[in-house]
Structure 1
Amino acid sequence: MKGAIKETKFRFPNQIGFYKGKVRDVYKFEKSIVVIATDRISAFDVVLPKPIPYKGQVLNQIAAKFLEATSDIVPNWVTSHPDPNVTMGKKCEPFKVEMVIRGYLAGHAAREYAAGKRTICGVALPDGLKENDKLPHPIITPTTKADEGHDEDISKESILAKGIVSHDDYQILEKYTHALYARGTEIAAEKGLILVDTKYEFGKYDGEIYLIDEIHTPDSSRYFYADRYEANQAAGLPQKQLSKEFVRQWLISNGFQGKEGQQVPDMPPAFVQEISDRYIELFEKITGETFVKAETLEIEKRIEKAVLDHLM
């Protein structure tokens, strides 16, 4: 199996900070950041032990394409892509919420619904829905943005009451979220996919709201194949999808849901390879391009050189 990058420990000139996220390593400078998409994979807000070859490259390059494709809707943080795993951009002050938007009853929302809940994040859902049904209209179900541990469901009302986001800013975040989801849905449909649900993160730079982080990747989004969607729903069959959900389902079947006291099961090499293949499949399906694998023999040296050359 090809090499994969699990973490980085660089020290760049004029660097003033470092943050290790679930998937990304973020190097901070006075007005900018360097974000390295590693091959780490998380599920249930837990980073799994084994990295997935090419996953970081896939995420970084899909996000780059969608950020460019939505730049007319909202400005984004990106200034350059010096390496397949690296994005450089503005150092925004992030809002402490993730704007999750759902067009279908899937994943976490479906599990909550199956448990009997009819209100998710303050949004009422009708009775009689089946898993993966299309919702009457897209709904926003925000979560808190945790630096460590689990993100938590939260309602719009709680966000405003606690002053996490101002009323005026939240209205803008809602508008951007719906517009981005509509654009993502259109692009997916052109490729024979359904954008089921996704999340967006926003921040401020010099007082202006920017789209930050990644968008429309398999880590932040769920896709169904459109051609069999209606038939599968009618027959009560699972939907073929391109997302991390199959990783979550494998973990669930092996007794892990991120709950206290549960042990992360060991992922066999064949499953790690399957995950890598799935990520590459999504890249090719959603972009319509052939995925070109970057050199991974000395991946850390490659990334460090690219960043240093760009900082000079």
Structure 2
Amino acid sequence: MSLADSVLAVNNDLPIRTDKPVHSGKVRSVYWLTDADSRRLIEQKGYEVPADTPLAIMVISDRISAFDCIFHGEDNLQGIPGKGAALNAISNHWFTLFAENGLADSHILDIPHPFVWIVQKARPIKVEAICRQYITGSMWRAYEKGEREFCGITLPEGLTKDQKLPELLITPSTKGILTGIPGVPAQDDVNISRADIEANFAAFGFEQPSDIDLYEQLLKQGFGVISAALAKLDQVFVDTKFEFGYVTDRNGQSKLIYMDEVGTPDSSRIWDGAAYRDGNIVENSKEGFRQFLLNHFDDADILLNKNRMPEREALARDNALPLNAMMNVSNTYTGVAEKVAGHKIELSANPKADIIAILKRDYDLVD
């Protein structure tokens, strides 16, 4: 098989039966099932949800997004070999570990294929829940310039780059553009404080004020479970982003669950432990790819300056990245996944055809 054929770059054109538009994000596409198919699968598969719960097929891709753009490589490589399967395998492992440790459920009901989740519809909380154990990246750049307050938390003087923070910090930001919230600009990805959330809990999607404590508890517990497991692999869990939402259980009660992906190289920074102890940073996450891009292009400001977005989009569109750079990213993602999940990430010769065959044969979702 050719390397390009093993990559699933376009994931919003599968012939999955749906009566709604396919929602396609930077990496995943979501196919909402018809009410009849949702009810049928809930009954046939015994999913632990109310009979009228809307279900969706969520298909991951191998696309690589950085600085809000999709990048590609030489030899018509439109994504990173193994990336989608690696991300799903890592998330699946952590969600299972969360359940074993008595944490909250996730939105995933079934995993028909390494690229595919069957998920239940959730009511999302409009907060990117970010946890930081080390000072690095944008926080360090701001700290170095003299900033000491982050999301309502004041950091002490004298911190150094990449050092462990005195405590785990929760530094939330907005998910999507939220309007009408005092003191919160109507922009995506704006830093907010716990006080902002408490004063406007309903606008952020919380059903009751006490759930703010619960979301922070689940964030810290989830971070702790992943951090401890990665430490056994001599990997440092630096920071991460979680997302949460509500679902209705079989008894008609609302419950808070984990959504999207958790603890992956896309949503987290992960450092090699041995290198860190020697005073070096070896990134086992997408941060390494971002650093490569900053070094690869002559004018890094194009990637960092939001006012130069048209130039950035042209840069991503018109430049095929070197094959070895794409494969370095592939090795990072599959390497982390194989350590975490404990099994090899196999590349399919034609993942799209495999997905269609399984969803037709085992789920009757393809006409």
- The answer to whether 1:164 aligns with 2:211 is no
Residue 305 of structure 1 is matched in structure 2 by: 357
* RMSD between aligned residues: 2.0
- For the pair 1:295 / 2:295, whether they are aligned, the reply is no
How high is the sequence identity, in percent, across the aligned residues?
Answer: 28
Q: What corresponds to 2:292 in structure 1?
A: 250
Aligned counterparts, 1:1-312, within 5 A: 1-3=3-5, 4-8=7-11, 9-29=13-33, 30=35, 31-49=54-72, 50-71=78-99, 72-146=102-176, 151-162=189-200, 163-166=203-206, 167-206=209-248, 207-232=254-279, 238-253=280-295, 254=297, 255=300, 256-257=303-304, 259-261=306-308, 262-263=311-312, 264-265=315-316, 266=319, 267-287=321-341, 289-296=342-349, 298-312=350-364
TM-score relative to the length of structure 2: 0.77
Give the whole-Å Cα distance in 1 for the aligned partners of 2:85 and 2:305: 26
Aligned to 1:235: none
* 3-state SS of paired residue (1:203): strand
Measured against aligned partners, the alpha-carbon deviations of 1:122-148 in whole angstroms (never above 9, x if no partner) come to 22111211121000010111121138x
Q: Which amino acid aligns with 2:29?
A: D
Q: What SS does the corresponding residue of 1:65 show, helix, strand or coil?
A: helix
Partner of 2:184: none
CA deviation map 1:180-236 (0-9, x unaligned):
11111111111111111111111111121111111111001111122232330xxxx
Structure exhibiting the larger radius of gyration computed from Cα positions: 2
For residues 264-303 of structure 1, what are the alpha-carbon distances to aligned partners after superposition, in whole Å with 9 as ceiling and x for unaligned?
Answer: 353222211111111111112333x24231313x222211
Counterpart code for 2:138 = H
Counterpart AA for 2:258: L
Which deviates further from its counterpart, 23-32 or 149-158?
149-158
Instruction: Name the SS of the counterpart of 1:81 in structure 2.
Output: strand
Residue in structure 1 matched with residue 45 of structure 2 by the alignment = none
State how far apart, in whole Å, the 2-side matches of 1:23 and 1:305 are.
22
How many Å separate the matches in 2 of 1:258 and 1:310? Answer: 47
Runs of 4+ in 1 over 6 A off after TM superposition: none
For structure 1, which runs of at least 5 residues remain unmatched after alignment? 233-237
Q: 3-state SS of the aligned residue for 1:227?
A: helix
Structure-2 separation of matches of 1:135 and 1:258: 28
**By how many angstroms is 1:258 displaced?**
5.8
Which one-letter code corresponds to 2:60 in the other structure? A
Secondary structure (helix, strand or coil) at the match of 1:175 reads helix
The answer to whether the 8 A contact 1:15-1:27 is kept is: no
Aligned-pair CA distance for 1:20: 1.1
Hey, what's the Cα distance between the residues in 1 that align with 2:260 and 2:106?
9
Secondary structure at the counterpart of residue 10 of structure 2: coil
Deviation at 1:241, TM superposition (A): 2.3
Q: Give 3-state SS (helix, strand or coil) of 1:67's partner.
A: helix
In 2 relative to 1, CA 53–39 (structure 1 residues): closer, same or farther, beyond 3 Å? same
* 1:2 Cα deviation from its structure 2 partner: 4.1
Structure 1 pair 11/259, CA: closer, same or farther in 2 (3 Å)? same
Greater displacement, 254-263 / 58-67: 254-263
d(CA) in 2 for partners of 1:17 and 1:286?
35
Under a length normalisation based on structure 1, what TM-score does the superposition of the two structures give? 0.90
- Gapped runs of 5+ residues in structure 2? 36-53, 73-77, 178-186, 249-253
Judging changes above 3 Å, is the alpha-carbon distance between structure 1 residues 130 and 197 closer, same or farther for their aligned structure 2 residues? same
Residue pair 1:202, 1:209 contacting (<8 A) in 2 also: yes
User: Contact between 1:99 and 1:143, CA under 8 Å: does it hold in 2?
Assistant: yes
